Amino acid sequence: MGIEFFEKERIFKLDTPKSSYIIGVVDEENFVGHVYYGKKCRDYKLGYLMRTDEAPFVPSKNERDRLSFLDAFPFEYSTHGLGDFRESCIQVKTSKGQSAVSLSYVEHKIYAGKPALSGLPATFGTEQECSTLELVCRDNVLDLKVILYYSVFEDTDVVTRSVKVVNEGKETIYLTKVLSACLDMDNQDFELLTMHGSWARERKVQYRKIGYGQQGVTSLRGESSHQDHPFMALKAGDATQEMGDVYGMHFVYSGNFLAQAELNQFDSVRAVMGINPKDFCWKLEPQDEFQAPEVVLVYSAQGLDGMTTSLHTLYRKHLIRSEYKDKKRPILINNWEATYFDFNTEKLLQIAKQASELGIEMLVMDDGWFGKRNDDNTSLGDWDVNEEKINGGLKYLVDEVNKLGMKFGIWFEPEMISPDSELYKAHPDWAIAVPDRTPGRARNQFVLDLSRKDVREHTYESIAKILRSANIEYVKWDMNRPLSDIGSAELPADRQGELFHRYVLGVYELQERMMTEFPHLLLENCSGGGARFDPGMLYYSPQIWCSDDTDAIERLSIQEGTAMIYPLSTMGAHVSDCPNHTVGRITPFETRGYVALAGTFGYELDVTKIPEEDRNSIPEQIQMYHKYNDLVREGNYYRIASYAQNHEYDCYMVVSQEQTEALVTFVQVLNRPNCKSRKIKLKGLKSEANYVLEETGALYAGDTLMNAGILIENPWGDFKGKLLHLTMQK
């Protein structure tokens, strides 16, 4: 593993445990080309794959057909305006109104470790864990330096990429597009895998065959969005869940994005990813630099399962920083679906007392504790405790909860401001808005202009004063509307195109500052559920509320898409009340527990009002959580069957890193009359080992479980689940 440069051939070779990524420099103009990405190769002399010995050849041999070369060469980082008519990665606007960029290799550095990205979340690793290539390119006409960063890790099959742009000239340049990664490859009858959704139905998996032209997913909402996700994968036509070539791209960013695949006339696919260039324009003054966010590339020859394992490993070990990443999260009960805005100190303590007796470990007070907040029409921005509801004060409430042996958590929505608030009356210019236009409200709220230092400072101190006032050990950070009416009262006219990105940088700054002052805080990000569930947020919080839809059956497909690319430990998942508040469905309490077990596990209900049978089941569920959470949090996840595809049942499993233990979750959504038991083939076990099925005591060979399978009898009824726990025979 590592990175090498072969000077004679001008080849860079980046190796992960099972893959190789190869870059070549060609011709007198030092074009940087993509050579190969795939299964690990011993050889590095693969420059022939760039086809520069075929017509139209390189410009030094055939200047008359320069455009033909530029429009077909597999560029490592594509540029705009000079003859490559595919999607470009970088575009500018100069004082002369021109937009073209051309990049040539200048120099490089290879070193152990990985640099941080200023102001941005990014993966990390020690000098023993990863290596980095800085590939420096330059446009001599613009005096523009572009540094391409590549890092590889010793323990997972990913290549991370990011880009820094430096203005080394004497004139101001406006960057109108700076994407973070480009990947040119021959088509393998690729299908494009993306994730789509909306509020309450996030991250549904979609496959479509790549056709000629451009296709992909985007966001212009100022968030990584419910509707599309900053991820895509190219799956070879013959690839399956378990085998075949899959190339994944994931954006470590929480705002507007572009993820696009383009099939051209030569049957080459160009995949690009980065900040969405629409409404983006960054003023780069002389000697200024712009850092683009990171993209994670993953190659798997073991189908989707291999991609999932690589991403899970990367995020668990090299992205999440919280002290909670490697330990159990406290089992919480959130009062939102229990009370909504109708609560006071007595009601919260009543819930806490009952919950503590059942073994629940934390009470979270959700929306409605501040200002005049008795509904969602007022008071965002006025982060002062409403002591008419929290009678006795916040510290009294927290202390009383602590006396019960429970931790205390609290909800904020720091990025928003209500038109009906004291803050808005004092500072209407602090809201993002376009002058002379009627602003668009969503949930009757506006968005604070976090590009402004004074707004960030006020926002931070408003939150911090609450956290300093009592023993608060958990924060749920919400964000319930997209950005619109993009205008800042402070940014000058030629910097208004920076607002979207500056907003995201402001969010990162606030969360970084909070976690620095309160390092032991458990932070859970949320955005109307899953509107900002992305790798960027995981850098600050080890878990994100997966969806506002807590229905166990809806959660099967939501959590399937999420778990394809994120560790189970990151998915906020709770057992909620029935009929479910989103869809009205009634599911067994037991099944709700099984589905929530695949995430952080907690409760979202009024424990004092649920049926006694359900309440009496909680200690057993908590015992289940403590028994299996280490395995669920740390193990390798495998998808066995998809309810979203078969419309009948769902099945997935987690296997310990040592392959000594496995947990299979089976949920029968719809029962079938007059049918035999289902045969399930397991994954990830040791073929030569024997495993005991705890539920029956039966002994099975590992290869039998994976190749022949195991039978699961159909439960009687709909929405019924089962757990199968296997341990290796000693």
> Catalytic site residues?
478, 548
User: Among 522, 499, 539, which Cα is nearest to 116's?
Assistant: 539
Contact 131, 112 (CB under 8 A): yes
Contact 17, 309 (CB under 8 A): no
Which tokens in the block code for residue 235? 């799956």
User: Among 134, 139, 127, which Cα is nearest to 99's?
Assistant: 139
Range 43-62 burial, b when 16+ CB lie within 10 A, else e: ebebbeebebeeebbbbeee
Taking the C-alpha atoms of residue 431 and residue 446, their distance in angstroms, rounded to an integer, is: 6
Which tokens in the block code for residue 242? 């378990």
Contact 57, 41 (CB under 8 A): no
CA 171 to chain centre: 37
Taking the C-alpha atoms of residue 65 and residue 410, their distance in angstroms, rounded to an integer, is: 64
Q: Three-class SS of residue 309?
A: helix
Contact 483, 222 (CB under 8 A): yes
Taking the C-alpha atoms of residue 135 and residue 149, their distance in angstroms, rounded to an integer, is: 6
State which amino acid sits at residue 544: I
Distances in Å between the alpha carbon of 293 and those of 77, 255, 637?
15, 10, 28
Taking the C-alpha atoms of residue 721 and residue 599, their distance in angstroms, rounded to an integer, is: 16
For 372, residues 6+ apart whose C-beta sits below 8 A from its C-beta are: 378, 379, 382, 386, 420
Burial class (CB in 10 A: 0-12, 13-18, 19+), 234: buried
Where in 560-658 does DSSP place strands (E)? 571-572, 575-576, 602-604, 636-641, 649-655
Q: Three-class SS of residue 399?
A: helix
Taking the C-alpha atoms of residue 281 and residue 279, their distance in angstroms, rounded to an integer, is: 7
